[in-house]
């Protein structure tokens, strides 16, 4: 398209990475002249190498460190309804092979060819996180395509993504289609979860832990379970649905625990379920002082290391969690420790966890290493898309 601006890589930049699938172009890799800086955030441009050879079509945001996001290898591609529908249909085909019911992550950003876009589906409803300027400016088009491809009748915009502020975007949530009043029951791993699409965390439910929930549930038959940072009862409800004798869910949010309790009642397991509100570190210390012991303990904290600058402090926090949790595990019991910090790689997280367990006076063997469920595909060129790690130790 002759009317599209172009942005050009600096001679020192390495175009091979982009040609081989890396989806981002950083500001320090580009000729950031006045013309490039003046491009409106969310606009489309042709990316050129240092020799002015076109490499593809990118979405541009000069205000972001990620100045270019690769949308299409064809520099003349039309980002219209048909383009969105094709991407969404491809994503949907994968999820429909995985799951019998329409409850899953439908779009996992760059890995599904929609940079910065997250879409979680809850039956006839969907929650969109447009975490990049190009998607925000084309939100109407995206919603139309989503409705056309999936048939959902309710669409909610969640502006809770941390990266929205880095893109210069607002934090205003909105119901874009239909009615989103009341929590939605979500069947998963034999349990029923209650997802609040408008008032909950992120999109209302963490589908990425689905397979890890199932793995812990298999270890929980006949077990006493402690689910720290439980949100709406993630690990606890799955464990109870699969034979745990009792489960305690701990979270700092009363609203999340109310949803967890409602989920236990909907699952028919409320008689074996209890909640405890409080700070996780304080609660772990209190439980130790009470002499509490559990057969299965799970700690699934928020991202302690969301960026490289927080990596070392984050790893110390993961170590502390492991140190406090390990003494609560019965002999021969299981401790599952999770990290959703992409800045803390698997090896570093594993070492921090093992140090914490040792400092807690325990020793253990790793019996499982888990990752995000397959509706959260990993783009091999982008390490950040493989953020979730779950380690299960037998102590």
- 238 with 140, same domain: the answer is no
Residue-level pLDDT at 203? 81
CB 25 within 8 A of CB 384: no
**115 pLDDT exceeds 80?**
yes
Which CATH number is 305's domain given?
3.40.50.150
- 244 with 327, same domain: the answer is yes
Q: What confidence tens digit (pLDDT) does each residue in 159-171 have? A: 987 789 889 999 9
242 forms beta bridges with none
Interatomic CA distance for residues 107 and 127, integer angstroms: 10
The pair of three-digit structure tokens given for residue 18, joined into one six-digit string = 């982009």
Which of these is catalytic: 114, 142, 149, 340? 340
Residue 366 lies in a domain: yes
Residue-level pLDDT at 308? 85
- 341 with 367, same domain: the answer is yes
Q: Residue 113's domain spans which residues?
A: 81-177
Q: What confidence tens digit (pLDDT) does each residue in 264-318 have? A: 999 999 999 999 999 999 999 999 999 999 999 999 999 898 888 889 999 999 9
Residue 88 lies in a domain: yes
- 254 with 160, same domain: the answer is no
Residue 121 lies in a domain: yes
How large is the greatest C-alpha to C-alpha distance in the chain, in angstroms? Answer: 72
User: 338 catalytic, yes or no?
Assistant: no
Kindly provide the b/e burial profile for residues 211-249, where b requires at least 16 CB atoms within 10 angstroms of the residue's own CB: bbbbbbbebbeebbbbbbbbbbbbbbbbbbbbebebbbb
Poorest-pLDDT segment among 165-174, 353-362, 372-381: 165-174
- 141 with 254, same domain: the answer is no
**386 pLDDT exceeds 90?**
no
- 112 with 247, same domain: the answer is no
CB 340 within 8 A of CB 302: yes
- 287 with 162, same domain: the answer is no
Mean pLDDT of the chain: 95
Which CATH number is 10's domain given?
2.30.130.10
Using alpha carbons only, how large is the chain's radius of gyration in Å? 22
User: pTM of this prediction?
Assistant: 0.95
Average pLDDT over residues 51-70: 96
Residue 1 lies in a domain: no
Average pLDDT over residues 82-100: 98
Residue-level pLDDT at 1? 46
From residue 6, alpha-carbon distances to 2, 65, 204 in Å are 10, 18, 39
Which of 54, 72, 90 lies at the terminal end of a domain, its last residue? 72
- 309 with 388, same domain: the answer is yes
Residue-level pLDDT at 2? 58
Residue-level pLDDT at 153? 98
How many domains, the chain? 3
Residue 106 lies in a domain: yes
Q: What confidence tens digit (pLDDT) does each residue in 308-345 have? A: 888 999 999 999 999 999 999 999 999 999 999 888 89
- 67 with 88, same domain: the answer is no
């Amino acid at each position: 398209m002759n009317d599209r601006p172009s942005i050009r890589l600096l001679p020192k930049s390495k175009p091979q990475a982009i040609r081989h699938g890396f989806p981002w172009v950083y500001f320090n890799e580009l000729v950031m002249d006045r013309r490039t800086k003046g491009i409106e955030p969310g606009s489309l441009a042709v990316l050129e190498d240092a020799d002015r050879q076109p490499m593809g079509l990118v979405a541009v945001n000069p205000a972001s460190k990620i100045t270019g996001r690769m949308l299409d290898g064809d520099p003349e591609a039309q980002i219209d309804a048909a383009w969105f529908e094709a991407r969404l249909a491809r994503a949907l085909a994968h999820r429909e092979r995985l799951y019998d019911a329409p409850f899953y992550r439908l779009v996992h950003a760059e890995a599904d060819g929609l940079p910065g876009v997250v879409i979680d589906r809850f039956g006839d409803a969907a929650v969109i996180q447009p975490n990049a300027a190009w998607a925000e400016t084309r939100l109407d088009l995206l919603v139309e395509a989503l409705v056309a491809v999936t048939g959902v009748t309710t669409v909610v915009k969640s502006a809770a993504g941390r990266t929205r502020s880095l893109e210069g975007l607002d934090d205003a949530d909105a119901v874009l289609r239909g009615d989103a009043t009341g929590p939605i029951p979500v069947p998963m791993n034999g349990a029923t979860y209650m997802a609040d699409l408008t008032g909950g965390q992120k999109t209302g439910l963490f589908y990425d832990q689905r397979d890890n929930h199932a793995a812990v549930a298999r270890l929980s038959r006949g077990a006493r379970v402690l689910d720290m940072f439980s949100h709406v009862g993630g690990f606890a409800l799955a464990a109870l649905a699969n034979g745990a004798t009792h489960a305690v869910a701990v979270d700092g949010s009363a609203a999340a625990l109310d949803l967890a309790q409602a989920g236990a009642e909907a699952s028919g397991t409320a008689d074996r379920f209890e909640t405890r509100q409080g700070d996780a570190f304080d609660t772990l210390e209190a439980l130790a002082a009470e002499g509490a012991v559990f057969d299965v303990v799970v700690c699934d904290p928020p991202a302690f290391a969301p960026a490289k600058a927080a990596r070392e402090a984050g790893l110390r926090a993961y170590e502390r969690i492991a140190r406090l949790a390990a003494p609560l595990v019965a002999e021969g019991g299981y401790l599952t420790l999770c990290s959703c910090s992409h800045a803390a790689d698997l090896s570093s997280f594993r070492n921090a966890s093992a140090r914490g367990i040792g400092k807690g006076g325990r020793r253990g063997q790793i019996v499982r290493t888990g990752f995000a469920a397959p509706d959260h595909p990993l783009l091999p060129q982008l390490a950040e898309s493989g953020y979730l790690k779950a380690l299960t130790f037998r102590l």
